[in-house]
Amino acid sequence: MNFNLDYTTSTGGSITLSINASAVATCPEDSACASTVSGGSNVFLSATNGSLSFCRWEGDCTGGQSLCAFTMDQDKSVNAIFAAIDADCP
């Protein structure tokens, strides 16, 4: 069974998607991206900040670590939040 993964970078930065340890896609700055992932796959999302500071994940990933990992067992939606280096996180 396949599931949908939606991942966005609504405030800058980018996300690299890896499935079962192989990089498969990069979601560029200020974009909404989507992938179809096989159930049971190990998914890794890595937030890359460029000139911004990574703040946190929202949705099916949470926390302030730039790497988020999970097993695909249902449709998932993730948003990476970034802020300017000298700014407070929104």
The alpha carbon of 51 is separated from its chain's Cα centroid by a whole number of angstroms, namely 17
Torsion-angle region of 60 (φ positive above 0: left; ψ -120 to 50: alpha; else: beta): alpha
Per-residue pLDDT tens digits for 15-37: 999 999 888 899 998 899 999 99
Phi, psi of 82 (to 5 degrees): -125, 160
Query: CA neighbours within 13 Å on the CB side: how many for 11?
Result: 18
Domains of the chain with bracketed CATH: 2-84 (2.60.40)
pLDDT tier at 86 (50, 70, 90 boundaries)? confident
Answer yes or no: is pLDDT of 11 > 80.
Answer: no
Residue type, 17: L
